[in-house]
Amino acid sequence: MEIMNLVVTGTVGAGKTTFIRSVSEIEVVDTDRKATDDVANLKQNTTVSMDFGTLQFGDEMALHIYGTPGQTRFDFMWEILIERAHAYVLLIAAHRPSEFHHARRIMNFMNRQANIPMIIGLTHSDCEGAWSSEDIALALGYQEITQQPPIVLVDANDGESVAIALVALVQHYMEITAKAEVAV
Amino acid sequence: MSLAGHLSEYSLAEIFHFVQDGNKTGVLSIEPDIGASKFIKDPHYISFQSGRIMSVANGSGLGNRGLLKMMSQRKWLSSEQVSTLETQVSLLTQPLGTYLKSRNAVNTEQLSLLFNSQVVATACKLFEIHRGQFSFNPKAPLAYAEMTGLSLTAQEVALLGLRMLKNWDGLATKLPDPESGLQRFSTNLGGLRLDTPELQVWKLSLGEMPISKIALSLGLDVDKVQQIGFRLSSIGLVHEVSVEPAQPPVNKMMDVPKPVCVDGGNAAVPVSASFLSNLMGFLKKKG
């Protein structure tokens, strides 16, 4: 079986679970558990959650999609996911500027853990108070458009929109790996 | 879609950074909440041209004649000149300061003094506001009547403002964590002049040493290094990074559910071209 692993990460409420549910062919696996204070180092009854969905598109070919927990404190869980990932999408709710700092921290963490292709998916971009993709890129620290990863607008509730975002991610993966092969 | 939000979410320095990096032209409005600042009560309007700060106006809006008033108070212009100019400023197509200098009504030194008073000193006070609203209007008309013709980059003003900031309480939650590291973006400062502690911290911002150790090695208080880290981060010279991934104690890690489905595929093994081709075809049908 040939498998490609993609990770969907992002801020709380950006639509990670919905994104995976919208496109997965199986019921999304959700590993909800109560975390201990020591592990979470935060409030009691916090839930650790990791979503998993899959797309089978041949007898021996499958796309596995993993969603990270919404909290950065579970970094070790993220490591488990990111170390096997081929690429990832960072989901950000465009109408919640208060979350952009957290999104940047997630991105920095992910990029330090693994040098893999990524795209940014903006959800809720039609909501009141949503920032433009250009301004969100600035908030994430991208000063030059040439340095920034692809940014796509996505409706996590819409399977077609999610599929288009996945096309952009896979396309970007292909471009990056092709460049890497040329460099070798 | 607008660049707008709460100052509790984004500090003024960060907003300045966005505007400069975006090379934006327009007017940034800062509206402090009641009681948010001892010194600033009114809305302030900061005019930007290609990411540079041209003027700061306060009060009831851009129609103010703040710059004329400042020159009048200093008796650089006669009351007749002020009266005449008041009827003409709306027709200006260049900064008022530039216009008056071209007519030898004011000189360069006077304009520098005005700029320092109107922009640098006022903007520095604005950094004390941590509760309020901000919004950037790229379509707002440029307030030529409030402009001296001089300008500074938003980065320079932010650096000055944060250096002068005495009360950091409002920014406490935004300061980098003492156990985080700082990673600089570039090996050069792009012409910015840092003071000695800033330069020392910037040199150690290699993403390897936590802030607490940087403070120890430089003989500075941790909170001072946090403030410097915030300053450098706000103007885009460094960013906060985790030095060590947060790991739970080993015995606790056993309690945490391992993702049972992480059992196939490996990033170390790139997927084949035929896999990608099939996947793209499959996804495009869905999209």
The rounded distance, in Å, linking the Cα atoms of B179 and B201 is: 15
Confidence of residue B257 (pLDDT cuts 50, 70, 90): very low
Is it the case that residue B31 has pLDDT exceeding 90? Answer: yes
Determine whether the interchain pair A105/B240 forms a contact, defined as Cβ–Cβ distance below 8 Å: yes
The rounded distance, in Å, linking the Cα atoms of A33 and B253 is: 13
Task: Give the pLDDT of residue A68.
Answer: 87
Confidence of residue B261 (pLDDT cuts 50, 70, 90): very low
Find chain A residues with C-beta within 8 A of B263's C-beta: none
B261 → closest Cβ in A4, A29, A63: A29
Q: Which fold has domain A2-183?
A: Rossmann fold (3.40.50)
Determine whether the interchain pair B245/A97 forms a contact, defined as Cβ–Cβ distance below 8 Å: no
Determine whether the interchain pair A64/B261 forms a contact, defined as Cβ–Cβ distance below 8 Å: yes
Task: Give the pLDDT of residue A114.
Answer: 85
Determine whether the interchain pair B252/A134 forms a contact, defined as Cβ–Cβ distance below 8 Å: no
Where helices occur in chain B by DSSP H, the ranges are 12-21, 66-73, 79-88, 96-102, 108-115, 122-126, 154-164, 196-203, 211-218, 222-234, 250-253, 273-286
Kindly list the domain boundaries of chain B, sorted by start residue: 3-164, 175-242
Is it the case that residue B256 has pLDDT exceeding 50? Answer: no
Under DSSP, the state recorded for B236 is: T
Query: Could you report the per-residue pLDDT of B127-157, keeping only the tens digit for each?
Result: 888 889 999 999 998 889 999 999 999 999 9
User: Which residue is it, tokens 């040329």?
Assistant: A182
For A75, nearest residue in chain B (alpha carbons): B246
Determine whether the interchain pair A58/B278 forms a contact, defined as Cβ–Cβ distance below 8 Å: yes
| Region B33-61 average pLDDT | 85
A4 → closest Cβ in B3, B174, B265: B265
Query: Could you report the per-residue pLDDT of A45-84, keeping only the tens digit for each?
Result: 344 557 888 898 888 899 999 998 766 555 677 788 888 8
Query: Could you report the per-residue pLDDT of B153-203, keeping only the tens digit for each?
Result: 999 999 998 998 888 888 888 899 999 999 998 888 888 899 999 999 999
B267 → closest Cβ in A80, A116, A166: A116
State percent of chain B over pLDDT 70.
89
Determine whether the interchain pair A108/B241 forms a contact, defined as Cβ–Cβ distance below 8 Å: yes
Determine whether the interchain pair A112/B241 forms a contact, defined as Cβ–Cβ distance below 8 Å: yes
Structure tokens at A147: 């340095």
The rounded distance, in Å, linking the Cα atoms of B41 and B155 is: 24
Confidence of residue A42 (pLDDT cuts 50, 70, 90): very low
Determine whether the interchain pair A35/B256 forms a contact, defined as Cβ–Cβ distance below 8 Å: yes
Nearest one of B224, B241, B239, B240 to B162, comparing CA atoms:
B224
**Separation in Å, CA of B275 to nearest CA in chain A:** 7
Query: Could you report the per-residue pLDDT of B198-251, keeping only the tens digit for each?
Result: 999 999 999 989 999 999 999 999 999 999 999 999 888 998 888 765 554 444
Query: Could you report the per-residue pLDDT of A121-157, keeping only the tens digit for each?
Result: 999 999 998 999 999 998 998 877 788 999 999 999 9
Determine whether the interchain pair B267/A86 forms a contact, defined as Cβ–Cβ distance below 8 Å: yes
B259 → closest Cβ in A50, A132, A166: A50
Determine whether the interchain pair B247/A159 forms a contact, defined as Cβ–Cβ distance below 8 Å: no
Task: Give the pLDDT of residue A28.
Answer: 66
Task: Give the pLDDT of residue A29.
Answer: 65
The complex's ipTM works out to: 0.82
The rounded distance, in Å, linking the Cα atoms of A11 and A15 is: 8
A52 → closest Cβ in B255, B259, B272: B259
Find which of A78, A135, A161 to mutate to test the B interface (most B CBs within 10 Å of its CB): A135
A131 → closest Cβ in B3, B245, B261: B3
Find chain A residues with C-beta within 8 A of B240's C-beta: 105, 108
CB B145 within 8 A of CB B114: no
Kindly list the domain boundaries of chain A, sorted by start residue: 2-183
